[in-house]
Chain A
């Protein structure tokens, strides 16, 4: 398994290139001095600091020695010293990192604190500290860099050990009486070996760079030994005469450092150690919200008090033939003071409908409609500025999850005040005062103090009420509530719903309430539209719910439990699953789950037909004769 994963690392282009480079470096380190050692050591006082030529591709240094040969030969020293330093660092890091697991609580804690303290200092500073103690020279530098890199490794080992130590098999071993040292050796170490090796690879790259730095400063290898850093230092003093002498070792250092770093990264990715972003399949770029279908067709002019006028709304993902329609031909009309509920299972497209109506469909979605008017103004094809002026204060949106829908790093009062600052040009203090008033009106106690608090200091119900208050900052004529109480406790749900209803009554706004819970909708709304697989399959007044005609609506109603249900019976469910938007069957989408389906249902898709005044159903066999038995008229409907 492990070998396969390492092989996978080599298969990525980055991993292959990096592995190749590392291999070349290792080969150079081994054979370099043998092949070019002489050329690197031969002085030629006749041509010192010569520019590149055929004989010396990179020129010569201050003693006439060939630079290219010296760079190649220096590979062994540079690489060897870096690896030695890394080995020291890893070893000490291992000891320091596993010590807390072996020692008792107190001493373990002390070690952890020490490591945390050391990690805060940059490696170079620690290296300089130890270099001062051990003195200049290769040996001192190796010790210095090794000790300087130890804290970082120790920290890593600590984290990894803690993860492993928390696993079940370690707990089992501990209960079985396995001693601490054995625990570390047998259980912890083998399981952290792989990530540690990967880290060591990256660490080797860092050590290489650090060594180059120290040698460059004259604190690393001393003459006559040389490594890339030293060559760099020598070349720098003659950079005006022969710049290649300085650049060549620099390039070597960077290449080698990158090779190790990239190899470490590729290995980490292959071993699944790092959360790499999965390659996202390219989507056609969408500029803002793509409102396709620019000019809306005139399907009759609606009466004056219609707030929301939607005709044939389609929301699709992807383009062309492969486009998936999550919302397929939805039409809806809501008047002032009217509350309409949109009910459906997850995936029915109800949330997407609500977001599209408010102009907030997510980026890749393509929204089209014959007509999409809010307060008589078209939302289709409108620019951002037009949307801001038209919808800014007239549409209030209440989202599902109050915990994530408020900016966690901005005070609640300011988030409310923003609305009038932006759209009505109010001054900061005036806006804040109004925000406090709003918070009071949505029944948040101590509103003045609450306005200065952050969202995390609010409870869930309070946050949702604050969101409602935020929508009220303008003068909304349409409130779109997308599952406003789903994320709240049942007891808080009632409060928030009641607040929503009162707010709607006071402002006379239209309300579009999305929910999967038909009971909630029936308590809040006058009309309800039932969605299934992206389409509206039934639309009827809430007072008439007991006479629902569509089998899906009837099944939804039957599945709502109440206190009078026989406890011995199983909970009523609708067998099966709704179809995926990409795999909508021919004919009625509900047919596979419907008790009344026949050949016509599977062959043809029923249109949304009017059954009576204000009642529509998309069904070939609407159940109009018998009322839904489980729905007691007293329980449903009415406000």
Chain B
């Protein structure tokens, strides 16, 4: 039997640039990322100049000797014209030089490099935990409560999830310390140590977003269950697991990804609070002490890192949205 393979669709060319929709989407999205990063860099640069009064004096104290203040100003380049400082700063960011801490005299990049891994570990684990909890819980509850079944469980789940996810992460953290540290003395509550030391911080970060997302996933999955194409899948007599995993879940993802992106961004920044509760040696403690001590170069550097992380997360979410909803890439063009 000859199966004539139809030729691949010819790439459409505009000038010399292939206009594959995926390439277009990625190019546009990366362009937007670069632009946003540039704005974040500019904003962090402007920070020190927006401080009312003299930032150096504010950092060194009102009683600091004037020549020390002057020397510091000089070393920070604050006496140069603004545009020169801006150019220097941009160049510094590109080459990895984020300035020097006013308090400890260490390079900001080094400090950040020391502390970032702990925060990153926390963030990645929390993200994984959110997915590990939200997806099975949301889908499972959808299966259990479809078509008005188990109204009691539905009410219980919804109200519990809503209440717990309304509690901010640092308060959850304090609660965990009380229960698992003070009362039960089961888990470590301060500092980073072995794997057990990760449990409470990760849980405090992940629990709220996980429950909120599971609620959304349940509602979306139930909505999709009522769609015509699920009826078609049932007409094909596919086994239940396949219907849920291949037909229901992918179409329930869009809402979950959109809101998930927002929740995860908030969780990322929530590490600042949770780290301070658990005395976790990450960027969170760094930025708070830097702000308190008015160590502006360090503040600039850490804000830059957090801002860039949020932007990268948004990019990831956009890519995943484009992957799961093929119409979105095309529609953007």
- In the complex, the answer to whether B292 meets A408 with C-beta atoms within 8 Å is no
Considering the complex, which residues of chain A in the window 114-130 have a beta carbon less than 8 Å from any beta carbon of chain B?
117, 120-125, 128-129
- In the complex, the answer to whether A132 meets B291 with C-beta atoms within 8 Å is yes
Interface string of B152-176 (1 = CB under 8 A from A): 0000000000010011101100110
- In the complex, the answer to whether A122 meets B235 with C-beta atoms within 8 Å is no
Query: What's the minimum C-beta distance from A122 to chain B, rounded to whole angstroms?
Result: 4
Q: Say if the beta carbon of B276 comes within 8 Å of chain A.
A: yes
Interface string of A271-290 (1 = CB under 8 A from B): 00000000010110110000
Q: Say if the beta carbon of B287 comes within 8 Å of chain A.
A: yes
- In the complex, the answer to whether A282 meets B327 with C-beta atoms within 8 Å is no
Given known A-B contacts A218-B292, A399-B232, A363 and B50 have beta carbons under 8 A apart: no
- In the complex, the answer to whether A286 meets B239 with C-beta atoms within 8 Å is no
- In the complex, the answer to whether B266 meets A422 with C-beta atoms within 8 Å is no
- In the complex, the answer to whether B237 meets A388 with C-beta atoms within 8 Å is yes
- In the complex, the answer to whether B50 meets A408 with C-beta atoms within 8 Å is no
- In the complex, the answer to whether B231 meets A405 with C-beta atoms within 8 Å is yes
Q: Say if the beta carbon of A384 comes within 8 Å of chain B.
A: yes
User: Of the 9-residue stretches A158-166, A243-251, A492-500, A615-623, which lies at the interface with chain B?
Assistant: A243-251
- In the complex, the answer to whether B147 meets A408 with C-beta atoms within 8 Å is no
Query: What's the minimum C-beta distance from B92 to chain A, rounded to whole angstroms?
Result: 19
Given known A-B contacts A125-B269, A239-B178, A409 and B288 have beta carbons under 8 A apart: no
Q: Say if the beta carbon of A213 comes within 8 Å of chain B.
A: yes
- In the complex, the answer to whether B148 meets A125 with C-beta atoms within 8 Å is no
- In the complex, the answer to whether A117 meets B39 with C-beta atoms within 8 Å is yes
Given known A-B contacts A213-B168, A399-B228, A404-B228, A131 and B291 have beta carbons under 8 A apart: yes
- In the complex, the answer to whether A406 meets B148 with C-beta atoms within 8 Å is no
Give how many B residues have a beta carbon under 8 Å from the other chain's beta carbons.
77
User: Of the 9-residue stretches B73-81, B101-109, B242-250, which lies at the interface with chain A?
Assistant: B242-250
- In the complex, the answer to whether B292 meets A360 with C-beta atoms within 8 Å is no
Q: Say if the beta carbon of B332 comes within 8 Å of chain A.
A: no
Q: Within the assembled complex, what's the spacing in Å between the Cα atoms of A250 and B240? A: 44
Provide the residues of chain A in CB contact with B268, threshold 8 Å: 122
Q: Within the assembled complex, what's the spacing in Å between the Cα atoms of A64 and B171? A: 24
Query: What's the minimum C-beta distance from A613 to chain B, rounded to whole angstroms?
Result: 35
Q: Say if the beta carbon of A448 comes within 8 Å of chain B.
A: yes
* A/B pair count, beta carbons within 8 Å: 191
Provide the residues of chain A in CB contact with B292, threshold 8 Å: 136, 218-219
Partner of B310, one of A121, A399, A408: A121
Q: Say if the beta carbon of A102 comes within 8 Å of chain B.
A: no
Query: What's the minimum C-beta distance from B185 to chain A, rounded to whole angstroms?
Result: 10
Q: Say if the beta carbon of A194 comes within 8 Å of chain B.
A: no
- In the complex, the answer to whether A125 meets B170 with C-beta atoms within 8 Å is no
- In the complex, the answer to whether B232 meets A254 with C-beta atoms within 8 Å is no
Query: What's the minimum C-beta distance from B51 to chain A, rounded to whole angstroms?
Result: 6
Q: Say if the beta carbon of B303 comes within 8 Å of chain A.
A: yes
Interface string of B254-274 (1 = CB under 8 A from A): 000000001001101110110
Given known A-B contacts A213-B273, A286-B147, A121 and B307 have beta carbons under 8 A apart: yes
Query: What's the minimum C-beta distance from B95 to chain A, rounded to whole angstroms?
Result: 24
- In the complex, the answer to whether A407 meets B233 with C-beta atoms within 8 Å is yes
Provide the residues of chain A in CB contact with B296, threshold 8 Å: 132
Given known A-B contacts A129-B47, A360-B235, A399-B231, A409 and B324 have beta carbons under 8 A apart: yes
- In the complex, the answer to whether B51 meets A133 with C-beta atoms within 8 Å is yes
Q: Say if the beta carbon of A470 comes within 8 Å of chain B.
A: yes
Query: What's the minimum C-beta distance from A62 to chain B, rounded to whole angstroms?
Result: 17
Provide the residues of chain A in CB contact with B87, threshold 8 Å: none
Partner of B171, one of A219, A250, A363, A407: A250
Q: Say if the beta carbon of A30 comes within 8 Å of chain B.
A: no
Partner of A448, one of B5, B39, B171, B232: B5
Considering the complex, which residues of chain B in the window 293-313 have a beta carbon less than 8 Å from any beta carbon of chain A?
294, 296, 299, 303, 306-307, 310-311
Q: Within the assembled complex, what's the spacing in Å between the Cα atoms of A358 and B232? A: 11
Q: Within the assembled complex, what's the spacing in Å between the Cα atoms of A422 and B233? A: 11
Give how many A residues have a beta carbon under 8 Å from the other chain's beta carbons.
72
- In the complex, the answer to whether A122 meets B310 with C-beta atoms within 8 Å is yes
Provide the residues of chain A in CB contact with B233, threshold 8 Å: 407
Q: Say if the beta carbon of B68 comes within 8 Å of chain A.
A: no
Query: What's the minimum C-beta distance from A601 to chain B, rounded to whole angstroms?
Result: 38
Tell me which of B171, B251, B292, B294 has the highest count of chain A C-beta atoms within 10 A of its own C-beta. B171
Q: Say if the beta carbon of A590 comes within 8 Å of chain B.
A: no
Partner of B147, one of A121, A363, A401: A363
Q: Say if the beta carbon of A392 comes within 8 Å of chain B.
A: yes
Interface string of B44-63 (1 = CB under 8 A from A): 00010011100000100000
- In the complex, the answer to whether A125 meets B303 with C-beta atoms within 8 Å is yes
Provide the residues of chain A in CB contact with B246, threshold 8 Å: 407, 410, 418
Partner of B236, one of A132, A250, A422: A422
Interface string of B201-239 (1 = CB under 8 A from A): 000000000000000000000000001110111111111
Query: What's the minimum C-beta distance from B206 to chain A, rounded to whole angstroms?
Result: 16
Given known A-B contacts A239-B182, A360-B234, A125 and B288 have beta carbons under 8 A apart: no
Q: Say if the beta carbon of A540 comes within 8 Å of chain B.
A: no
Q: Within the assembled complex, what's the spacing in Å between the Cα atoms of A117 and B178? A: 39
Partner of B270, one of A124, A243, A404, A470: A124
B331 to chain A: closest residue by CB: A456
Q: Say if the beta carbon of A105 comes within 8 Å of chain B.
A: no
- In the complex, the answer to whether B229 meets A407 with C-beta atoms within 8 Å is yes
- In the complex, the answer to whether A219 meets B288 with C-beta atoms within 8 Å is yes
Given known A-B contacts A131-B291, A132-B296, A446-B6, A409 and B251 have beta carbons under 8 A apart: yes
Partner of B251, one of A117, A134, A408, A467: A408
- In the complex, the answer to whether A239 meets B177 with C-beta atoms within 8 Å is yes
Considering the complex, which residues of chain A in the window 380-423 have a beta carbon less than 8 Å from any beta carbon of chain B?
384, 387-388, 391-392, 395, 397, 399, 401, 404-410, 418-419, 422-423
Q: Within the assembled complex, what's the spacing in Å between the Cα atoms of A588 and B6? A: 60
Q: Within the assembled complex, what's the spacing in Å between the Cα atoms of A449 and B240? A: 29
- In the complex, the answer to whether B236 meets A419 with C-beta atoms within 8 Å is yes
Provide the residues of chain A in CB contact with B137, threshold 8 Å: none
Query: What's the minimum C-beta distance from B276 to chain A, rounded to whole angstroms?
Result: 6
Provide the residues of chain B in CB contact with A195, threshold 8 Å: none
- In the complex, the answer to whether A125 meets B239 with C-beta atoms within 8 Å is no
A contacts, CB < 8 Å to B: 117, 120-125, 128-129, 131-136, 209, 212-213, 216-219, 232, 236, 239-240, 243, 246-247, 250, 253-254, 257-258, 261, 280, 282-283, 285-286, 358, 360, 363-364, 384, 387-388, 391-392, 395, 397, 399, 401, 404-410, 418-419, 422-423, 433, 446, 448-449, 454, 456, 467, 470
- Other A-B contacts than A128-B269, A360-B234, 9 sampled, CB-CB below 8 A, are A122-B262, A125-B303, A125-B307, A216-B170, A218-B288, A250-B175, A395-B235, A409-B251, A448-B6
* A–B pairs, 14, beta carbons within 8 Å: A120-B310, A122-B262, A122-B265, A124-B270, A133-B47, A135-B51, A136-B292, A240-B182, A243-B183, A250-B175, A254-B166, A283-B148, A408-B251, A410-B246
* A-B complex: 9 closest residue pairs judged by Cβ atoms: A392-B237, A404-B228, A388-B237, A363-B147, A397-B235, A122-B266, A122-B269, A407-B229, A124-B269
